[in-house]
Structure formats: structure tokens, C-alpha cells
Amino acid sequence: MDFLKDLHYDDPLLNMATVLVAGIIGGEVFAAIRLPKVTGWIATGIVLRQLKLPGMDTSVDPKCLDAFLPYMHFVLGFIAFTVGATLYFASLRNTGRRITLLLLGEAILTPIIVAAILFFGAGLIGRGDVMTKEPTILLAAIAIAGAPGTTVLVVQEARARGVLTKTLLAAIGLIDMVAVAVFVFVTTFLGDKLGWQHAIQSVGVQFGVTFAIGTVCSLVAILLTRTVVSPAFLGPTMVAVVFGAWGFAAGFGTSGGILACTFAGIIVTNLRHDLVRSCEAYLKSISGVLFALFFTFAGMRLDFSLVPTAAGLVVLYFVARLIGKCVGAYVAMTLADVTASVRANLGIALLPHGGVAVGLILLVASDSSGFSDDVKSLVNTVGLAALAVNQLLGPSATRFALNRSGESSKDRARLLDFLQEQRIQIGLTADTKEEVIRTLSALLYKTSQLEITQDEFVERVLDRENLETTCVGEGLMIPHAILDEGAEMRGVLGISKKGLDFDAADGHRVRAVLLLATPEVERKRHLQILSAFATAITRDTNLAEQLYNARSAAHAYDVLHADEQMDLNYFLEDAADQAGLRES
């Protein structure tokens, strides 16, 4: 048995296996008490930090974790790529104004509020001597960053869907890009003393170079998929995009890799949307492994022993960031005229703080940052300690916001799933039925892919309309065409506040036009939609008035997808279960 003395138990793969198993167990324990699994993974990592891993004589030295940085960078790059891929411009129609306002709120209001609370609050708790201008501004810039990976995971776990969820997913990656931009600006401005023009130039250089890297990697991959790569290797090719984008941008540190992968995701999803799905499908089977290991390692990097040394400042920073996020999001969503539910909950949902923040804190602590040792120590201590608190409480805050907004457990097949926000048009105008059909057909083809040309589709709809009017009464019109090919229902909704005079049989002006493109295989669902819409609109005056007077596409979406409208937009599985019970 002497050979056992020569065995070594410090192999990185053995340590990864230990961390993975512990993380899985921790996640399941937290899930059992109805908390997000990601919180359990992070908490497990914090506990593991204090324990011994195989081959280590003491508690985990953070430097030992550097051996796993390539893995961490890949997962962070994959998260950035998938977040960028959510910015599919065709699906973001009607969201541009609120996303823009939210980003402005994050770039301006959030850091100003955080800086003000830190600067004046530190004096109140007797720490004004250490919270000087430089650490205050640096921590305020870092406060902007979110946690795309954590947020996406919580949304998936909550099976959430709705305007808040869509806004959150569309903005979270861009918020990190805003954080990087503001951070590069303030560090350059504070560090080289060359003025704000040079600081803006530094931001432009980093974004320009990483955009070029992400674009080139994406275009090369797309070219390969069209010429050499077989369908079976589309997923691996997208993984190579993540590797390449991060690797080429590594010279800018973590922030450059994140930016390059985010840009790559944006380019791929808008040029070849199907490739993003291939990548997600390829990694879906092992996504649990990727995320459990990533977030457990992230927890092991967070040192709660730092909290007692600066407890007052840590609490102050946490509270300041929460207030900054809530106020910034509330003001932005108020200006965007979204529903009260989104205004009240979006800021809370933005609380998670993650990978980009860690990268920015480490950049401040690096030898090349140019800041004094006192500034480095303070930013590192307060930033990482507050980050540890945020990592534990943030996922639960996002889950709370999704639950309170009523968007949890909505990601199930529903009758009107095809009628997303980008497929709704407010302020519809037309003088004839043909004009309104052509207008809505243009919207349909901008947001969907159909198997026939737009002209042929319009001709089929008009032929059907000439046979018999589709004005069903009470201001509703449902023109449609049955397609020979296709696998899913497509449609758009136009709303006219003043109404369209189409000589409806009941004398009412048409206020809502639902244009449907129905494949032959979806005839049953087509009839269900016609029946449900016509019945709901003609019988429920309150629903009709809310829909006809919707202030925005998001408002109309909320009206149609509200829990109160289950008779109109029911869960298909519930309907199937009820049908099965009736048959039995």
C-alpha cells in the first residue's frame, strides 16, 4: 500500500468535482426552502472558502482559484454572448424608448444617487475621513453593473414572462456595457488628469476595438456555417465565437472580454438568429453544470471576513445602490409611461451584482490603476463585501420582483403567445380595409418569418375578406389567411383609438384589428382564438375599453396577458387538462 503515499489529491479536476457536488447539494437545499438555486450555489462557495479542498492544507486561498479562471471566463463570456443575443432588433420593436430611458437612468441617476449617499452618509457614521472623492466616484461607477448570469438564471427558474421580464432581459447586458463605459471614463479622468475629452476617447477606443473583435469573430463563424460547417457543428462553432472574442479582447481585462462577447451575440442574433438557438440548444444539457460550478466558484471568491472591518460603509453602499437602482428605474419607466407594476418592481429586479463588478474592482486594485494604496484597499474592501451581500440577497430580490409583478410562472404555452409586444401597433390609421391589411402585413413580416411572400399573403387575406367580412362587432375585426406550410401561428394587432369606419354590421367603428397567419396544422387553435377574442371583446366592455384605449404596445400587452383575462388568453395545458377531464 506504499503507492498510496505517492498519490496527489490536488488535481484541478478533483477540486472542480468537489466544488460541483457541494454546489449542487447547496442549490437543492435552497430550492427546497423556496429560494433561488443560484443563492444556494453562492452561499455554498462562501462556506467552501473556509474549508479544505483536497490537497490544500488551509482554507482556500483566492489565488488558488486563478487556476480555474479560463473556465470562469468561458462561462462569463457565454453569459455575455447569450445576453447580447437577446437584443434581437426585430423583437425589440416598441421597447426602444423605455430601454434608452432606463440606460440613461442607470448612467446618470444611479451613480449620482450612490455617490451622494456615500459621501454625505459616510460623514454621518463617522467615516467621512476615508470616503473621499476618488473612492466615492469609483464605487458609484461600479454600482451601475448588474449580474446578467444571475438575472437570466432567476428568470428561467421563475418561468417569468411579461413586460418587466422583457425589459429586464433586454437591458441587463446593456447596463453592464454602460457600467464599463462610465468606469473607463472616471478612471481615466481621475487617473491621468488629461481632462474629460481624453476620458471619452478612452471609452471610444475600448468599445470600438471590442466591437470590431466581436463583429469579426461573428462574421467568420457565420461564413463557416454557410460554407464548411455541417448543421451538427453549429453549436460548437458558436462556442468557438465565445472563446475567440474573449481571447482577442483579453488585453482589455475582464471588461473587454465581456464587451466583445456581448457584441458577438448582438451581431449573430441579428444576422443569423437560428445560430443563437443552436448554441443554446448545444449547451442546454450541461447548463446546470456550467452555472452551478461558476456561481459556486464565484462564492468562493467572496470574503465575508471583510465585512466587520467596514460594516458601516458596506451597509451604506448596499442601501445606496438599492435606492439608486430603484429611483433610476422608477423615473425612467415613468417617463416611458409603462404600467405601475413595472415601475414599482424593475429597480428591485436589478439588484444582483456580479461578474463585471468583480472585474472592475480588481482593475482598481491592480498595480497599473494609478490609485493610492488607501483608495485601492477601501474600494476592494467595501466593494467586495457589499458584492457578497448583493450576491446572496440579489437573486431573491429579483425573484420577489417577478412574483410581485405577477410575471412568475407565465412562461407556459398560452393561446396568444404569438401576440408579443413587438407585434402590437398603437395609433393605427387607414381609410380602407385593404390599407389596414397592408399596413399590418408589413408589421407582420418585420417581426415574423413566413413561408410565402408578403404580396401573396395580402392577396389571400383580401380574398377571404371579400367572401365575408371579418368585422365581428363591438369594434373588433379579425382578417386572416390559412397557409399551406408552417408550424406555428403568427399574427399582429393594430389598435385605433378613434376607430376606423368600415361599415360594420353593428354600426360600430373598428377599434382593434387582429391579423392572423395560420398554418393548416394550427386550424384548431385558429378557431379557438377567433372564438375567445370575439367572445371576450363583445361580452366584456371593460376589457374592450382597456384594450382600445391602451397608451402603448406594452400597455396593450399587459391588458391581454393579465391574469384577469384567463378566459381570453388561457394556458393551453390547463385547457387540455380540462378537456381531458370532460372526456373522461
- Alpha carbon distances (Å) from 577 to 314, 410, 570: 51, 17, 12
| Count of other CB atoms within 10 angstroms of residue 103 | 18
The pLDDT value given to residue 182:
85
559 torsion bin: left (phi>0), alpha (psi -120 to 50), beta (else): alpha
CA distance 117 to 113: 6
Amino acid at 190: L
Question: Which three cell numbers, joined as nine digits, stand for 395?
Answer: 437573486
Low-confidence ranges of the chain (pLDDT < 70): 1-10, 52-64, 91-94, 191-196, 253-255, 277-280, 283, 285, 302-307, 355, 362, 366-369, 411-417, 486-487, 562-584
- DSSP, collapsed to helix, strand or coil, labels residue 493 as strand
Distance between start and end Cα atoms, the chain: 67
The pLDDT value given to residue 195:
66
- Alpha carbon distances (Å) from 339 to 105, 336, 346: 18, 9, 11
DSSP single-letter state for residue 371: -
Nearest to 215 by CA among 254, 249, 246, 260: 260
473 torsion bin: left (phi>0), alpha (psi -120 to 50), beta (else): left
* 496-548 residue pLDDT tens: 988 888 888 888 889 989 898 888 877 777 777 777 777 777 777 777 888 88
CA distance 22 to 546: 51
CA distance 224 to 133: 51
The pLDDT value given to residue 130:
77
- DSSP, collapsed to helix, strand or coil, labels residue 476 as strand
Partners of 482 in beta bridges: 518
Question: Which three cell numbers, joined as nine digits, stand for 221?
Answer: 463563424
Nearest to 150 by CA among 117, 128, 132, 176: 176
- Alpha carbon distances (Å) from 572 to 23, 140, 413, 453, 535: 35, 46, 6, 30, 18
Taking every pair of Cα atoms in the chain, the longest distance, rounded to a whole number of angstroms, is 97
The set of residues, in sequence order, having a beta carbon less than 8 Å from that of 256 and lying 6+ positions away, is: 206, 209, 210, 249, 250
The set of residues, in sequence order, having a beta carbon less than 8 Å from that of 444 and lying 6+ positions away, is: 423, 450, 457, 490, 491, 492, 515, 517
- As its CATH architecture, domain 421-583 has 3-Layer(aba) Sandwich (3.40)
The pLDDT value given to residue 413:
54
DSSP single-letter state for residue 1: -
Q: pTM (2 decimals)?
A: 0.68
- As its CATH architecture, domain 62-404 has Up-down Bundle (1.20)
DSSP string for residues in 526-582: HHHHHHHHHHHHHH-HHHHHHHHT-SSHHHHHHHHHSGGGTTTS-BHHHHHHHHHHH
- Alpha carbon distances (Å) from 240 to 54, 78, 152, 184: 32, 10, 22, 28
The pLDDT value given to residue 193:
62
Domain boundaries, the chain: 62-404, 421-583
The pLDDT value given to residue 565:
53
